[in-house]
Amino acid sequence: MSSDFEWANRIARPVIAEFKAYSARGASTGALHLDANESPWSPPPAGPRESGYNRYPAQQPSALMARLSGLYGVPSQNILLGRGADEALDVLLRTFCEARQDKVLICPPSFGYFNVAAQVQGAGIVTVPLDDNFDIDQAGVKQALKDNAVKVVMLCSPNNPTGNSISRKFVAELCSMNPNTLILVDEAYVEFSPMGSLSDLMPANRNLVLTRTLSKAYGLAGVRAGAALANPEIINLMLKVLPPYPVPRPVEQAVITALAASAMAVHDARMEIWKVERTRLLGALPACDLIETIYPSNANFILLKAADEDALLKKLARFNIKIRDFRNKIAGHFRISVGMPEENDLLLAALGLIDQESKKDRTAEEFRTTKETDISVRVNLDDPSGVNIETGLGFFDHMLEQIAKHSGMGLTLKCAGDLHIDSHHSVEDTALALGAALKTALGNKAGIGRYGFVMPMDETQAKVAIDLSGRPSFTFKGDFPSQAVGEFAAEMCPHFFQSLSQSLGASIQIDVAGDNTHHMIEACFKGVGRALRPAISRGPTTDIPSTKGVI
């Protein structure tokens, strides 16, 4: 076998293989940089040097590449990062397809930008349409590949707009049977699919190229960041074509922040919600008599065939809901993105499938970043099913679980804090973030119980009273017999509830007695959870529980 480098050069456009890469400046080295005609001053309003905006970024910023390497499970040298997967697709064709000579193979209906990128580059387009079930016509693709001018097979899995995935066996077969053809699989929606990425096929198949995006599963469509994953020799050739500095510093910052350790629990929780909602819509939509067919989906959208196109559009228009019209490509078909639960409720209400006034879940997210801690919290006061807590302090995790379990709320909480110093900041900031999230989730407090009170627990006595009055106040009575439980200082227990009362806007009174510090602290957390349960729970009315009509 020829070396990968010779091979990649051989299948690339000759002009790309031949020229030497333009050398954009590398990462800043700490030297005095008088080499790039930049301004020595950062733009206002930040002070000198603060934003770094006056300096060109690295061509492929290393911290971000390292993060993506972790996220995608492939080495940085196998990744090209650009302005979305769209740019990666464009650069791939500009690197490998000679205009008026080379061709791409596309299986429509598929991602529309495949055609655009091919046409801009002047590549020919061979089409092998999907079959009646929207599956790949495998024999047809193999037959079409007898044309040696096909340089790139452009597949999408899960496919946009049909939502189904391509079998990994077929992709592996295509790669090995056509060693000098690039097999591209656009995995823009792979995070939503039970099938998983094909990245593990890359080491054995140097002609396999994958594209990934941060626009869909990670909520970064407005930031423009996406990647190609491939053998390093393909990546190196593509880097010759990628325009200079495609990853602006604000983009790098936004992505690093969105993919921080503490944010991953939030992404996980949202992905769960997304999948549950997809199942709910797939179950509910067939009952609509304006819809003829609903197709199963491994992505965050659902393709459907309308029974009455005009009536369907009219109903949705009345609720100002837009769905994607695919009728110019597939007669009678539309694509609906899966939204957040309350948005999907609106869709189902518009189609007359649920009562629009049905109760909405009270959920909220809170992100808190300080010098000492990085925290993300998601609460759902009406669905206790998701509890996932990681603060790095085992005992504290266990205590927070007590609050979630006994109050009956779902709680996803991740805290990355300065535990090498001590636990103080982590505990305090967690309380502040949790209180703020609860306050947001409670909204205008319509229908809640407002008050909660709870009494003895085991041999330890914990009396807890709570009033979600909107006004913070805190009293604590109790003497702990020892100073700490493991790494958790006993004094942090009252401090936690004081901080919680402050950011939640609640009156919390705790009176605890006992002779075991562990049990006493646990009783406080359980007690607060128990007292929160009636306080946050909603009754049949939507009254505000105050004589003033507001709290």
Ligand X SMILES: *Cc1c(COP(=O)(O)O)cnc(C)c1O
Residues that bind ligand X (CB under 6 A): 84-86, 111, 156, 160, 186, 188, 213, 215, 221, 226
> Minimum distance between the CB of residue 320 and ligand X, rounded to whole angstroms?
23
Instruction: State how beta strands 488-489 and 451-454 pair.
Output: unpaired
Please say which residue, 188 or 273, places its beta carbon nearer to ligand X: 188
Q: Please, which contacts does 475-478 make with residues 24 or more away whose CB atoms are closer than 8 Å?
A: 475/508, 475/509, 475/510, 476/509, 476/510, 476/511, 476/512, 477/510, 477/511, 477/512, 478/510, 478/511, 478/512, 478/513, 478/520, 478/524
User: Which residue number has the CB closest to ligand X?
Assistant: 84
> Minimum distance between the CB of residue 49 and ligand X, rounded to whole angstroms?
31
Please say which residue, 255 or 468, places its beta carbon nearer to ligand X: 255
Please say which residue, 103 or 212, places its beta carbon nearer to ligand X: 212
**Tokens describing residue 162:** 């049909």
Torsions phi, psi for 490 (to 5 deg): -60, -35
Please say which residue, 130 or 188, places its beta carbon nearer to ligand X: 188
Residue type, 152: V
> Minimum distance between the CB of residue 251 and ligand X, rounded to whole angstroms?
12
Q: Please, which contacts does 341-350 make with residues 24 or more away whose CB atoms are closer than 8 Å?
A: 341/273, 341/277, 344/277, 344/280, 344/281, 346/319, 346/321, 347/281, 347/316, 347/319, 347/321, 348/281, 348/284, 348/285, 349/319, 350/315, 350/316, 350/318, 350/319, 350/321
> Minimum distance between the CB of residue 278 and ligand X, rounded to whole angstroms?
16
Please say which residue, 303 or 436, places its beta carbon nearer to ligand X: 303
- What DSSP line would sit under 339-403, residue for residue? --HHHHHHHHHHTTSS-TTSPPP-EEEEEEE-SSEEEEEEEETT-TT-EEEE-S-HHHHHHHHHH
CA distances from 264 to 370, 375, 413 (A): 18, 11, 10
Please say which residue, 218 or 497, places its beta carbon nearer to ligand X: 218
Please say which residue, 68 or 464, places its beta carbon nearer to ligand X: 68
> Minimum distance between the CB of residue 104 and ligand X, rounded to whole angstroms?
15
> Minimum distance between the CB of residue 164 and ligand X, rounded to whole angstroms?
13
> Minimum distance between the CB of residue 171 and ligand X, rounded to whole angstroms?
16
Which run of H or E residues covers position 121?
helix 112-121
> Minimum distance between the CB of residue 223 and ligand X, rounded to whole angstroms?
9
Please say which residue, 130 or 504, places its beta carbon nearer to ligand X: 130
